[in-house]
Structure 1
Amino acid sequence: MPTSLADIKDRLDHRIGEELMVISQAGRKKTTERHGILKETYPAVFVVDLDQDENSFERVSYSYTDILTKNIQVDFDEAANE
């Protein structure tokens, strides 16, 4: 489990170009799932190019703080790597 923002960024830096799913809190008991590809990492945020079949917009960015505070969960698609 990552314990710092630098650790989270480092882990994501090594997975650029891979498919992932981002699960985010959309309310008290509601979550949203978005599928895409990890495109870029910056000092404070990372960018995901979204699957156009599922989403009305092309990209979304999240902060590393979102992962640390568990506002979002990032799961890499292990099936794509088999």
Structure 2
Amino acid sequence: MVQKNQIQAIREKLDSHLGERVKVRASEGRRRVFEREGVLEKTYPSIFVIRFDDEESLCVSWSYVDVLTDSVELEFAAGDR
């Protein structure tokens, strides 16, 4: 079972990077990988939102559990993971 303090630690770390550029690498299943750069826009109790830099101004949200289970990898401009 995932411990709440691990999820809270991930959320606090993301809160400290709000508004910063981030590179996202996410598994889409069947060997497909989603890779883009954007800005960490907002954090909520269960999810966080990243706005990507393409023409559509695409926003995507993921849960903190996705980060915990390595389904989503985040790399900030400062090299912090």
**1:4 counterpart SS class:** helix
Unaligned runs of 5+ in 1: none
Query: Shift of the alpha carbon at 1:77?
Result: 1.7
Unaligned runs of 5+ in 2: none
Q: Percent identity?
A: 35
Deviation above 3 Å: which 4+ runs of structure 1?
none
Alignment check: 8 A CA contact 2:51 2:57 kept: no
Alignment check: 8 A CA contact 2:23 2:75 kept: yes
The aligned length equals 75
Alpha-carbon distance between aligned partners in 1 of 2:32 and 2:43, rounded to the nearest angstrom:
27
What TM-score, normalized to structure 2? 0.82
- In the alignment, does 2:23 pair up with 1:24? no
**2:29 counterpart SS class:** coil
Greater share of strand: 2
Alpha-carbon distance between aligned partners in 1 of 2:77 and 2:25, rounded to the nearest angstrom:
13
**2:54 counterpart SS class:** coil
Residue matched to 1:10: 12
